[in-house]
Amino acid sequence: MRSSICVFYIALFGLPAAALAQAPAGDPDALYRDRTNLSSARDAVAIWDARLKADPSNFEAAWKLARAMYWLGGHDVESARRGQLERGVEAGRKAAALEPKRPEGYFWMAADMGELAESFGLRQGLKYRGDIKDALETVLRIDPAYQKGSADRALGRWYFKVPGLFGGSNKKSEEHLRKSLTYDPNNNASHFFLAETLFDLNRDKEAREELQKTIAAPVDPEWEAEDREFKKLAEERLKKK
């Protein structure tokens, strides 16, 4: 599981060759690994966007663009985020259409939709609710182990966030989050999300144990930026409850 400053980096108009010429130099994967530096993340976006414009069948550029827009949509200046997430949804949808039997496009499309739903009010939540669930269930059918159980992790969050009237369920949230931990017992996000679900179920002792697990879990080098954020959130939450 997001009008924009990023327009200056991703709106590369003109012919494909011209677009490529305007893209920053460098390895976009290396730039994305340095994503806590937002200028690096924006440069990665510009390169993947230019590649996709030059070759609309470039699946890798499409899904990686969707992933990078998710990061920017959660971390850039407030005025930029909505446009970035909407661009991420578009890129994820493109990737899913290019490779309908691969999980990447569906997952990152759902992630961008999820961030839009969480960050921009009830209307966005209702707009994307069904599409998010459908996309994540598609990932489960294609490859349930994708990114160490990411679809179950995201579905666990979906069931926690969506009101019961519209299909939400803390019981199903817990089930999916525990399932995600079978793929990666040390996943910071899964432990943190499970803690929030357990708090909502008034199982505070278990919830605090999950927060402790979030703090104690090793950092995954691929997801270091996200892991450190979840550890910080867990520390803050422990101080409150």
pLDDT at 25: 74
* pLDDT exceeds 90 at position 63: yes
* pLDDT exceeds 90 at position 120: no
pLDDT at 227: 97
* Domain architecture of the chain: domains with CATH: 1-143 (1.25.40.10), 170-241 (1.25.40)
Beta carbons of 98 and 105 less than 8 angstroms apart = yes
pTM: 0.88
Residues 35-46: pLDDT tens digits? 999 999 999 999
- 156 falls in which pLDDT band (50, 70, 90)? very high
* pLDDT exceeds 50 at position 4: no
CA distance 122 to 199: 23
Residue linked to tokens 């661009």? 87
Beta carbons of 187 and 148 less than 8 angstroms apart = yes
- 5 falls in which pLDDT band (50, 70, 90)? very low
Beta carbons of 79 and 5 less than 8 angstroms apart = yes
Q: What is the 3-state secondary structure (H, E, C) of the chain?
A: CCCCCCHHHHCCCCCHHHHHHHCCCCCHHHHHHCCCCHHHHHHHHHHHHHHHHHCCCCHHHHHHHHHHHHHHHHHCCHHHHHHHHHHHHHHHHHHHHHCCCCCHHHHHHHHHHHHHHHHCHHHHHHHHHHHHHHHHHHHHHHCCCCCCCHHHHHHHHHHHHCCHHHCCCHHHHHHHHHHHHHHCCCCHHHHHHHHHHHHHCCCHHHHHHHHHHHHHCCCCHHHHHHHHHHHHHHHHHHHHC
Rg of the chain over Cα atoms, rounded to whole angstroms, equals 18
User: 207 vs 18, which has greater pLDDT?
Assistant: 207
Residues 83-112: pLDDT tens digits? 999 999 999 999 999 999 999 999 999 999
